[in-house]
Amino acid sequence: MLEALTRRRAPHNRIAGVDLVGILAHLAHALRREVGVLIDRHGSVAHVVVSRRWQQLAEMGTAPGGGSLHYVEAHPRPDGRPDEGDRRAIRLLDLDLVATVGTHRGDPTDLWLLEIAPGGPGGDSVDLVVEGPFAVDELAHQELGALVRQAEAARRRAGPVQTQGTGPERAVLVAMAGADGKGGVGDSLEELASLARTAGAEPVARVTQRRQRPDPGRYIGRGKVEEVLRAVEEHAADVVLVDEELTAVQQRTLEGELGVKVLDRTAVVLDIFARRAQTREGRLQVELAQMSYLLPRLSGRGQWLSRLGGGIGTRGPGETKLEVDRRRIRQRIADLQREIDGIQRHRRRQRQPRHEAALPQVAIVGYTNAGKSTLLNRLTGAGAFVEDRLFATLDPMLRRLQLPNKRSVVLADTVGFIQRLPTELVAAFRATLEEVVAADLLLHVVDVSRADWPEQARVVEEVLDSIGAGDLPVLAALNKSDRLVPAARAALAREHPDAVVVSAATGEGLDRLLDAMGRRLPEPWLRVRLRIPYSEGRLIAQLHSEGRVIDRRYTRTGILVDAELPGPLAVRLRHRFGAAGAPRQPRAREATGGGGEARPPFPRR
């Protein structure tokens, strides 16, 4: 019956025939889907549309001339009033009008019209006007030409109807839980909703499935695809966001069956990073992550089109478009990698004076939106950008701070972490994350106002381990304590004595935090060159026991020693036995071989 619709015609100068509307209503009731037809100005059915696959039709270019089609559809529900999805369709496909009917037990109910009309005081804009309800029989009396002329006049005066809607994209969120019931998705879905809002979309529905493992072709099961499709139709959604990373096959299959864009969690995070990147370094790193994400999704498409392989039947005119795209992406990845390597070398040169001055570095790390930039501003007056959104900070910011013990340190604000941080981002942002790896102390900021803060702290620990910073000393700052009642704050302090309860917004507890930073930082070591007389040879044993001897040479006047020693001992011996040409000073952590205080048990569980 769907195929037969393509052979039907509408009466001359009419929106549609009553019999055609009856068939659409019958099909919508039987399929429990919206069914519609795109009709050209000659009355022929150009396309049959099931489940609002307008995005695919727009990509095909269904209305190359603009305003050459109108759409007649039947909703599977009794109320056939046009909704936001119909408004988006008229914009997306540049239609003249949309006619909708509801269905009741397979019969059409009232008819509604969504028309284009001049808007504004002087008709200098385009409005979408809803008229109805009408009886279906009135289709025989509705002249199409008058409505088309009205739409054309509105377009001539105010331009075409905007392709994008006035509001944000509407998103359906999809997640999967383990069949054993242990893989809860509530917190993860809530985070995906926050990511969607940060990316400019509005979550309108959530669909979850309990399944042992993802379906290799669709990610979710066939029945759950039907449920997602119903949610897309019911809420007029524009995009489906999946709370995992999809394969190229899964993404293409879901898009084909749902008729809307399907994006995975990684694509959403990359989009946010692309929006937030301000500096050249940030933009380069985001582009590298995007290219690395895109490349494998190109490689799975149209392999049989390749003309570069060996064997009979593979010789042809040259590279296909797919191969050209892959080659260009690989070349761009190589170019970006070279530029980021240059940035990495530049950062090392910037850190070298701090290393030589034995100036320790404290990296502020934590879950995204935990309050890291607010804390940096409160401690140093840095003026870092602060917003109650995920990933407000992408580029590291360094500021100098003097602790109460008169010791100066460098504070580094870094990008926030999330669950399942995309591997492409970790690889691309390695130049930025070096500020974490090169730190002498990690200040782990935790948002304790969230119920799931222990899980967020565990995620940060896992990311630190993955980037090679798992053995660095950590000081935990339990932030946003101003949102807790006094009893809860006191309980936190008792349960986590190694951490400091603070509020970056109000300044509460920051003096205790600074004192703890001064105590937790490793004692600075200095590299010295000493000329020790043979009469003081016993000092060599002390150097080995309290420091690290790097090089030792015997000369006529004494023993020439290069060593790394604790600060007070180094100053005392350099005053007595210092030799010319002292080597560069190391960082405190390098001198101790990654020592200092061991990582406290918080927040491991």
> What are φ and ψ of residue 298, in 5° steps?
-85, -35
Local structure of 163: helix, strand or coil: coil
- Is the distance from CB of 392 to CB of 373 less than 8 angstroms? yes
The more confidently predicted of residues 318 and 230 is 230
pLDDT, mean of residues 508-536: 86
Beta bridge partners of 548: 564
The answer on pLDDT for 27 being more than 90 is: yes
Q: Tell me the pLDDT of the chain averaged across its residues.
A: 79
In the chain, the amino acid numbered 528 is: V
180-184, 368-372, 597-601 — most confident range: 368-372
Neighbouring CB atoms inside 10 A of 408's CB total: 12
How sure is the predictor about 475, in pLDDT bands with cuts at 50, 70 and 90? very high
Write out pLDDT tens, residues 534-573.
988 888 888 888 788 888 999 988 999 998 887 667 878 8
For residue 604, the model assigns a pLDDT of: 44
3-state SS of the chain: helix, strand, coil percent to 5? 40, 25, 35
Q: What's the CA gap between 226 and 17, in Å, rounded?
A: 31
Beta bridge partners of 411: 362, 399
Q: Is the peptide bond before 603 cis (omega within 30 degrees of 0)?
A: yes
The answer on pLDDT for 507 being more than 70 is: yes
Tokens of 93: 């496909």
Tokens of 541: 């044993």
The more confidently predicted of residues 99 and 152 is 99
How sure is the predictor about 49, in pLDDT bands with cuts at 50, 70 and 90? confident
Please state the length of the chain.
605
Q: Going edge to edge, which strands form the sheet with 548-554?
A: 525-532, 559-566, 548-554
Q: What's the CA gap between 37 and 6, in Å, rounded?
A: 8
Tokens of 548: 């690290």
Q: What's the CA gap between 40 and 47, in Å, rounded?
A: 9
For residue 447, the model assigns a pLDDT of: 92
The answer on pLDDT for 300 being more than 60 is: no
The answer on pLDDT for 54 being more than 60 is: yes
Write out pLDDT tens, residues 576-587.
888 765 454 544
The answer on pLDDT for 271 being more than 80 is: yes
User: Counting runs of H as helices and runs of E as strands, what totals does the chain give?
Assistant: 20, 19
pLDDT, mean of residues 100-129: 82
Give the list of residues 6+ apart from residue 375 with CB closer than 8 angstroms, or none.
364, 443, 445, 477, 479, 502, 504
- Is the distance from CB of 75 to CB of 102 less than 8 angstroms? yes
Write out pLDDT tens, residues 324-358.
777 888 888 888 888 878 877 877 777 666 665 55
The alpha carbon of 511 is separated from its chain's Cα centroid by a whole number of angstroms, namely 35
Write out pLDDT tens, residues 422-460.
766 776 666 567 778 878 889 999 999 988 899 889 988
pLDDT, mean of residues 4-18: 88
Q: What's the CA gap between 384 and 438, in Å, rounded?
A: 21
For residue 24, the model assigns a pLDDT of: 93
- Is the distance from CB of 406 to CB of 429 less than 8 angstroms? no
Write out pLDDT tens, residues 62-78.
544 444 688 999 988 89
How sure is the predictor about 281, in pLDDT bands with cuts at 50, 70 and 90? confident
For residue 259, the model assigns a pLDDT of: 77
Write out pLDDT tens, residues 156-207.
776 655 544 456 888 999 998 864 444 557 778 888 898 898 888 899 999 9
Q: What's the CA gap between 366 and 372, in Å, rounded?
A: 7
Q: What's the CA gap between 369 and 356, in Å, rounded?
A: 34
What separation in angstroms does the CA of 212 have from each of 221, 241, 285, 470? 11, 20, 35, 32
Write out pLDDT tens, residues 213-225.
899 988 999 889 9
The answer on pLDDT for 92 being more than 80 is: no
The alpha carbon of 115 is separated from its chain's Cα centroid by a whole number of angstroms, namely 38
> What are φ and ψ of residue 264, in 5° steps?
-95, 175
HEC sequence for 482-526: HHCCHHHHHHHHHHCCCCEECCCCCCCCHHHHHHHHHHHCCCCEE
For residue 118, the model assigns a pLDDT of: 76
For residue 286, the model assigns a pLDDT of: 81
Percent of the chain surpassing pLDDT 90: 16
For residue 60, the model assigns a pLDDT of: 58
HEC sequence for 186-231: HHHHHHHHHHHHHCCEEEEEEEEEECCCCECCCECCHHHHHHHHHH
How sure is the predictor about 115, in pLDDT bands with cuts at 50, 70 and 90? confident
The more confidently predicted of residues 333 and 61 is 333
Q: Match 């010789």 to its residue by tokens.
A: 315
Q: What's the CA gap between 56 and 53, in Å, rounded?
A: 6
The answer on pLDDT for 382 being more than 60 is: yes
Q: What's the CA gap between 421 and 558, in Å, rounded?
A: 56
For residue 308, the model assigns a pLDDT of: 44
For residue 590, the model assigns a pLDDT of: 41
Q: Is the peptide bond before 76 cis (omega within 30 degrees of 0)?
A: no
Local structure of 435: helix, strand or coil: helix
- Is the distance from CB of 50 to CB of 230 less than 8 angstroms? no
The more confidently predicted of residues 297 and 18 is 18
Beta bridge partners of 561: 530, 552
How sure is the predictor about 394, in pLDDT bands with cuts at 50, 70 and 90? low
Write out pLDDT tens, residues 416-432.
787 777 766 776 666 56
pLDDT, mean of residues 520-531: 80
The answer on pLDDT for 58 being more than 70 is: no
**Computed from CA positions of residues 75, 77, 81, 85, in that sequence, does the dihedral angle turn out positive or negative?**
negative
The alpha carbon of 440 is separated from its chain's Cα centroid by a whole number of angstroms, namely 29
Instruction: Provide the 8-state DSSP code for 591.
Output: H
Give the chain's radius of gyration (CA, Å): 33
Q: What's the CA gap between 514 and 503, in Å, rounded?
A: 13
pLDDT, mean of residues 21-45: 89
Q: Going edge to edge, which strands form the sheet with 107-119?
A: 45-50, 35-40, 69-74, 97-104, 107-119, 125-134
